[in-house]
Amino acid sequence: MQVLALSLLLSCSAYVTPSRIVCCLPAAVPRAAGIVSSLTAFERPFGGKVLTPPTTAAQNVAVSLRRAKPSDAVAIATICTDSFYGEHELKDGPIKFSQRAAVWSKVYLAVSRRLQFEGQRECRLVVASDARGGPLIGCVDLAVHLFNTQAAARSSRALSSRETPAPDACEADPVSPKPRCRLVPRSQERRPYVASLAVDRAYRRRGVARCLVGEAERVARSWGHGEVSAQNEPALAFYRREGYRVVRSDVAGTGAEEVDTSGLWWSFYQMPKYILRKRLFPGRGAPRTD
């Protein structure tokens, strides 16, 4: 089975410019002992190949973070498809090429639809690139979604099956200058949700994912949210080391998909998805697990 398994990334320092955040990362990172063995529930990514990071550069790498724009849709779709489904090689043949093309098209449409909400609701699609120039190397999506609090009776809150971000609690009324506030049902609550964390193969285990998640958490705090939830694809080790706790698995309406690439064609299977949570403001107790 081919599933994404991100490892713990080294810490990075960051500084802010008027339009972006720049993270300074070590260019060469030794493979951390025990990372892969800690993910024994999942097979190694890309058919058992251990993806070691590049070790040729000697200087630090600066990674630039910014908001995504519509022209980034192709690059984001490619990064997500490569990360979650795998890359295509010539030896894979035309069947897998056609399947991957179909998957890429679906991902591209989803990304394009998601970018329509950018700037209109509490949502932020962040992309990363090498500050020295070059294409995008990673992305992460943060959006406020509605969670079903009635799922607490079944162990915890469940994510709404809606794919789109939840409307803002108060939004401008085109007729009246006074904001119009929406009433959220008692059975639901608004919570920031981190998803679609993906990093280009050549930049994995180099701190890019940590910078992306850190930026998502910073934005969530700026929106006034004290906690953030995350989905897993299934990078449990990475998120746990970043302070997240699993609060629910197999969430209704958000089943993930994995692909078996060992045959002549891709075979897709449904797999459970995990909801993880992290408290953003220190001094308010341990992360909730209810």
The single-letter DSSP state of residue 175 is S
Q: Does the reported pTM lie above 0.85?
A: no
Residue 93 vs residues 97, 99, 265: alpha-carbon distances, Å:
6, 11, 9
Residues 9-57 pLDDT 10s: 222 333 333 334 344 333 333 222 222 222 222 222 322 222 233 443 4
Residue-wise pLDDT for 203-235, tens only, equals 888 889 889 999 999 999 988 887 777 766 557
- Superfamily the domain 13-279 falls into: Gcn5-related N-acetyltransferase (GNAT) (3.40.630.30)
Q: For residue 190, give every residue at least 6 positions away whose Cβ sits within 8 Å of its Cβ, in sequence order, or none.
A: 144, 145, 146, 147, 166, 169, 184
Helix ranges (DSSP H) in the chain: 73-84, 93-115, 208-222, 236-241
What pLDDT score does 109 carry? 95
| 112 has a pLDDT exceeding 70 | yes
Domain ranges of the chain: 13-279
